[in-house]
């Protein structure tokens, strides 16, 4: 039995968990760990801000399905992880974060760079630890990885006093986990599944509402089988984009505030909603009293606390989406549902996603469609947060899971650029495109250095409208066009990228757009394209916050009653 | 409605912070919370009194169960449990009032645990109502200070009537 330092135990434990890459930023309290990493067969990606490390680990996890790992030092290093952890927590993404901590002898004395990161991160992690005895370290790491990826995934933080990293212990990596209070339910109750099948078989106007849980549990194939067998139209949450091919005739695209009209109409008219791995977030339901007023609800989710939390559920099924769907599929009948599908086809024809064509400006919607046209189905789109994110959600048409990486629940500006670092490292052979706004790009643009240093061939496209677009849109629509603090004075992004050694160009004229895009996709290294788009372009359709899904603002009529 | 939750948790640092933090973050109304070690030192038992409608209590329980350190939750309904609250009450008591105070304490099966020239401190245990009633009566003498533990409770074995 080898005797190792805490730092060495940590590295060996990571190897047992098949970790081959970690994202981090060194500091005083984690020097022993960095020393152990120096000659370990683990790639360390040096970011330029700890928030970037957390987002990169998150992007890595979202795009690969593996656990992302990040490292920060104590105090400010640890607190800089907070936004990244909260982002991962809200979207149920498995991350294990290690933070350095003051030595145990100084804990609680306000010593240099000491902060109670365990206390700070309790509400934004699935679980967290402080290891005060090196003998516990291997067990804690084993538990942390297990907790992060099992059940409803989420971030786990391990706080490590520096003396624990330095002191020695026998290295035994435990085989078993003993967590009596943590027993996730993977298999749905069969009687409930039968009940769900009956409801589906008796339903005339069912709609599947699929979310991030389908992607987390790799259940896209089963979802598609179910939808096609029982001819059920599928709408997704933002997090669920890619879980069902959007080029399929059964696809309704995204639901909710910026969802398609036909998805929102279908939900409003449905007699049965089959929610799979979704949490019925307020951005999706609008005013809860008017959500799916005629529908019974089947809710499949691995987290029992999600059931009946936001909407009243008729058939609750707690379990892993993939397992539940596998059992459900043989029980549902092949039904044609011609009438319902015809209604939906009509809506799609009458109320397509729509924007006004313009030859003098680059329309962001057109830009997204063009990116789709010039890339293949394995391309991974990563976004920041704001208008560009919604256009990327509406107009790209995702056909595969894990190809749309975005901060959904927390809506974290500054997520996209660092997340794309993790995505590209996890998917070295895939084309990674970061779609960004000029506002959110500036929140973590220092990660351009990480991209350059690792020569990650990420295509960064800034939809530059010189404003905080989504806030500006709300101000226009709901605050009498009083643009308080939303008009930005930006740096020259092309020069900025060049300062980081990244090839860059700007495009303003629609005539030049196609060629610019082709150029960046053909280029083998990292590249930034600054696209000037009109300042007053809005995201439509839009359900005002707290409104009914039936009443959407759109371009032509602004407030339009449902017309089906 | 008031619910008494008996929650078995791992006896670990920060567990109390996790539980109380969950209540405040999720906007659940906590009336009292009590923690102590169980017969097994690796576990503690928390008695949490929460107020809310059925939906809220369902969420409270489900959210609590999500915490890795929570082992078991029992929702003790009012008719099938043993419930105790304890109070220490320091009450004004000069020479002339002594016999009266002692009588009241006797009736409520309290215990005098400290005595001074001007005050006595009384210990009383019982369910919440009894203690509230006792405090009401002592108010006539003038209460100087009160401390209450909040409720601790256990499921009543069905065989015992």
User: Is the pLDDT confidence value at B161 over 70?
Assistant: no
Give the mean model confidence (pLDDT) for residues A461-471.
98
Give A505 to chain B, closest Cα distance, Å: 46
| Number of C-beta neighbours around residue A239 at 10 A | 30
Interface test with A, best of B53, B64, B65, B68 (most A CBs within 10 A): B68
The model's confidence at residue A558, banded by pLDDT at 50, 70 and 90, is low
Question: CA–CA separation, A301 vs A317, rounded Å?
Answer: 7
Closest CA to A137 of A230, A66, A36, A217: A36
Q: Name every residue whose Cβ is closer than 8 Å to that of residue A186 and which is 6 or more positions away in sequence.
A: A302, A319, A320, A323
Give the mean model confidence (pLDDT) for residues B26-49.
94
- Collect all residues of chain A within an 8 Å Cβ-Cβ radius of residue B22: 123
| Number of C-beta neighbours around residue A219 at 10 A | 26
pLDDT for the residue A547 = 93
Instruction: Compare CB distances from A122 to B18, B62, B72 and report the shortest one's residue.
Output: B18
Contact state of B9 with A181 under an 8 Å Cβ cutoff: yes
pLDDT for the residue B156 = 86
User: Is the pLDDT confidence value at B38 over 70?
Assistant: yes
Over residues A106-152, the pLDDT tens digits come to 999 999 999 999 999 999 999 999 999 999 999 999 999 999 999 99
Task: Please indicate if any CB of chain A lies within 8 Å of the CB of B40.
Answer: no
**What angle separates helix A31-38 from helix A6-16, to the nearest 10 degrees?**
50
pLDDT for the residue B160 = 53
The complex scores an ipTM of: 0.91
**Which 77-136 residues of chain B touch chain A by CB within 8 A?**
none
Give B16 to chain A, closest Cα distance, Å: 11
Question: CA–CA separation, A279 vs A273, rounded Å?
Answer: 13
- Collect all residues of chain A within an 8 Å Cβ-Cβ radius of residue B55: 308
Contact state of B63 with A182 under an 8 Å Cβ cutoff: no
Give the mean model confidence (pLDDT) for residues A158-186.
97
Instruction: Compare CB distances from A147 to B21, B25, B68 and report the shortest one's residue.
Output: B68
Give the mean model confidence (pLDDT) for residues A227-236.
98
Over residues B111-159, the pLDDT tens digits come to 999 999 999 999 999 998 999 999 999 999 999 999 999 999 998 877 5
- Collect all residues of chain A within an 8 Å Cβ-Cβ radius of residue B63: 305
pLDDT for the residue B79 = 72
Locate the chain A residue with the closest alpha carbon to B12: A129
Contact state of A130 with B65 under an 8 Å Cβ cutoff: no
Instruction: Compare CB distances from A181 to B14, B21, B69 and report the shortest one's residue.
Output: B69
Q: Do A433 and A461 touch, CB atoms closer than 8 A?
A: yes
Query: Count of CB contacts below 8 A, A vs B?
Result: 41
Contact state of A182 with B68 under an 8 Å Cβ cutoff: yes
Question: CA–CA separation, A459 vs A467, rounded Å?
Answer: 22
- State the average pLDDT for chain A: 97
pLDDT for the residue A289 = 93
DSSP string, A40-109: SSSEEEE-SSHHHHHHHHHHHHHHHSS-EEEEE-STHHHHTTHHHHHHHHHTT--EEEEEEE--GGGTTS
Q: How far is CA B95 from CA B91, B92, B98, B117, B144, in A?
A: 13, 10, 6, 7, 17
Over residues A405-459, the pLDDT tens digits come to 999 999 999 999 999 999 999 999 999 999 999 999 999 999 999 999 999 999 9
Give the mean model confidence (pLDDT) for residues A192-209.
98
Q: Do A475 and A481 touch, CB atoms closer than 8 A?
A: yes
pLDDT for the residue A555 = 79
- Chain A residues at the B interface, defined by Cβ less than 8 Å, are 118-119, 122-123, 126-127, 130, 147, 179-182, 303-305, 307-309
Contact state of B70 with A181 under an 8 Å Cβ cutoff: yes
Contact state of B13 with A130 under an 8 Å Cβ cutoff: yes
User: Is the pLDDT confidence value at A176 over 60?
Assistant: yes
Task: Please indicate if any CB of chain A lies within 8 Å of the CB of B10.
Answer: yes
Instruction: Compare CB distances from B62 to A126, A181, A304 and report the shortest one's residue.
Output: A304
Give B27 to chain A, closest Cα distance, Å: 13
Over residues A313-361, the pLDDT tens digits come to 999 999 999 999 999 999 999 999 999 999 999 999 999 999 999 999 9
pLDDT for the residue A554 = 86
Q: What percent of chain B has pLDDT above 90?
A: 88
pLDDT for the residue B80 = 84
pLDDT for the residue A287 = 93
User: Is the pLDDT confidence value at A560 over 80?
Assistant: no
Give B6 to chain A, closest Cα distance, Å: 15
- Collect all residues of chain B within an 8 Å Cβ-Cβ radius of residue A309: 59, 62
| Number of C-beta neighbours around residue A413 at 10 A | 22
User: Is the pLDDT confidence value at A535 over 90?
Assistant: yes
Question: CA–CA separation, A551 vs A314, rounded Å?
Answer: 26
Locate the chain A residue with the closest alpha carbon to B18: A122
User: Is the pLDDT confidence value at A23 over 80?
Assistant: yes
Give B28 to chain A, closest Cα distance, Å: 13
The model's confidence at residue A557, banded by pLDDT at 50, 70 and 90, is low
Q: How far is CA A326 from the centre of its chain?
A: 25
Task: Please indicate if any CB of chain A lies within 8 Å of the CB of B36.
Answer: no
Locate the chain B residue with the closest alpha carbon to A311: B55
User: Is the pLDDT confidence value at A73 over 70?
Assistant: yes
Q: What percent of chain B has pLDDT above 70?
A: 97
Interface test with B, best of A181, A288, A318 (most B CBs within 10 A): A181
pLDDT for the residue B159 = 56
Q: Which of A71-75, A404-408, B95-99 has the lowest mean pLDDT?
A: B95-99
Give the mean model confidence (pLDDT) for residues B32-52.
95
Contact state of A180 with B71 under an 8 Å Cβ cutoff: yes
Q: Do A256 and A237 touch, CB atoms closer than 8 A?
A: yes
Question: CA–CA separation, A421 vs A444, rounded Å?
Answer: 12
Give the mean model confidence (pLDDT) for residues B41-69.
95
Closest CA to A563 of A342, A385, A343: A343
pTM, 2 dp: 0.96
Locate the chain A residue with the closest alpha carbon to B65: A181
| Number of C-beta neighbours around residue A126 at 10 A | 25
Instruction: Compare CB distances from A305 to B13, B62, B69 and report the shortest one's residue.
Output: B62
Over residues A375-384, the pLDDT tens digits come to 999 999 999 9
């Amino acid at each position: 039995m080898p005797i190792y330092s805490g730092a060495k135990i940590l590295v060996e434990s990571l190897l047992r968990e098949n970790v081959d890459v970690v994202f981090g930023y060194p500091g005083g309290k984690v020097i022993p760990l960095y020393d152990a990493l120096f000659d370990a067969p683990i790639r360390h990606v040096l970011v330029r801000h700890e928030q970037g490390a957390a987002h990169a680990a998150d992007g890595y996890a979202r795009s690969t399905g593996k656990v992302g790992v990040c490292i920060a030092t104590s105090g400010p290093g640890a607190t800089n992880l907070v936004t990244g952890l909260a982002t991962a927590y809200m979207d149920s993404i498995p991350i294990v974060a290690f933070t350095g901590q003051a030595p145990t002898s100084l804990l609680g004395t306000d010593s240099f760079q000491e902060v109670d990161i365990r206390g700070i991160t309790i509400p934004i992690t699935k679980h967290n630890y402080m290891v005060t005895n090196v003998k516990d370290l291997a067990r804690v790491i084993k538990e942390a990885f297990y907790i992060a990826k099992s059940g409803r995934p989420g971030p786990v933080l391990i706080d490590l006093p520096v003396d624990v990293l330095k002191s020695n212990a026998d290295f035994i990596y435990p085989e078993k986990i003993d967590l009596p209070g943590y027993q996730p339910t993977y298999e749905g109750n069969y009687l409930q599944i039968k009940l769900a099948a009956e409801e589906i078989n008796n339903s005339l106007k069912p709609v599947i509402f699929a979310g991030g849980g389908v992607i987390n549990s790799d259940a896209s194939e089963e979802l598609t089988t179910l939808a096609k067998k029982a001819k059920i139209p599928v709408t997704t949450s933002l997090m669920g984009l890619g879980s069902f091919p959007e080029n399929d005739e059964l696809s309704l695209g995204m639901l909710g505030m910026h969802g398609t009209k036909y998805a929102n109409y279908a939900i409003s008219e449905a007699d049965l909603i089959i929610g799979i791995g979704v949490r019925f977030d307020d951005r999706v339901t609008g005013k809860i009293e008017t959500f799916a007023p005629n529908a019974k609800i089947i809710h499949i989710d691995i987290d029992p606390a999600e059931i009946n939390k936001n909407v009243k559920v008729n058939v609750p099924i707690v379990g892993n989406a993939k397992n539940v769907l596998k059992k459900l599929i043989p029980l549902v009948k092949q039904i044609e549902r011609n009438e319902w599908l015809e209604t939906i086809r009509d809506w799609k024809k009458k109320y397509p996603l729509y924007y006004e064509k313009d030859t003098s400006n680059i329309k962001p919607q057109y830009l997204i469609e063009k990116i789709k046209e010039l890339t293949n189905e394995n391309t991974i789109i990563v976004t920041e947060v704001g208008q560009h994110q919604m256009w990327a959600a509406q107009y790209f048409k995702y056909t595969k899971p894990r190809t749309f990486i975005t901060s959904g629940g927390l809506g974290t500006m500054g997520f996209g650029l660092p997340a794309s670092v993790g995505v590209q490292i996890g998917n070295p052979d895939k084309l990674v495109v970061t779609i960004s706004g000029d506002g959110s790009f500036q929140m973590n643009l220092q990660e351009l250095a990480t991209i350059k240093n690792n020569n990650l061939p990420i295509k960064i496209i800034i939809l530059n409208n010189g404003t905080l677009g989504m806030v500006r849109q709300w101000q226009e629509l709901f605050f009498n066009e009083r643009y308080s603090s939303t008009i930005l004075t930006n740096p020259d992004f092309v020069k900025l990228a060049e300062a980081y050694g990244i090839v860059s160009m700007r495009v303003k004229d629609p005539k030049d757009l196609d060629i610019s895009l082709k150029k960046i996709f053909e280029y083998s290294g990292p590249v930034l394209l600054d696209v000037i788009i009109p300042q007053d372009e809005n995201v439509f359709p839009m359900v005002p916050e707290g409104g009914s899904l039936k009443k959407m603002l759109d371009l032509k009529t602004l407030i339009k009653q449902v017309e089906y | 409605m008031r619910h008494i939750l008996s929650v078995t948790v791992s006896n670990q640092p920060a567990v109390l912070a996790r539980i109380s933090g969950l209540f405040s973050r999720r906007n659940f109304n906590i009336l009292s919370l009590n923690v102590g070690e169980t017969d097994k030192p690796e576990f503690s038992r928390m008695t949490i009194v929460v107020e809310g409608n059925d939906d809220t209590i369902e969420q409270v329980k489900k959210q609590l169960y999500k915490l890795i350190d929570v082992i078991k939750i029992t929702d003790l309904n009012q008719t099938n449990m043993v419930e105790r609250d304890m109070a220490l009450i320091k009450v004004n008591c000069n020479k002339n009032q002594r016999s009266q105070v002692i009588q009241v304490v006797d009736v409520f099966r309290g215990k005098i645990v400290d005595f001074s020239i001007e005050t006595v401190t009384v210990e009383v245990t019982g369910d919440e109502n009894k203690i509230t009633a006792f405090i009401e009566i002592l108010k006539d003498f003038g209460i100087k200070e009160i401390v209450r533990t909040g409720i601790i409770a256990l499921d009543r074995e069905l065989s015992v009537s």
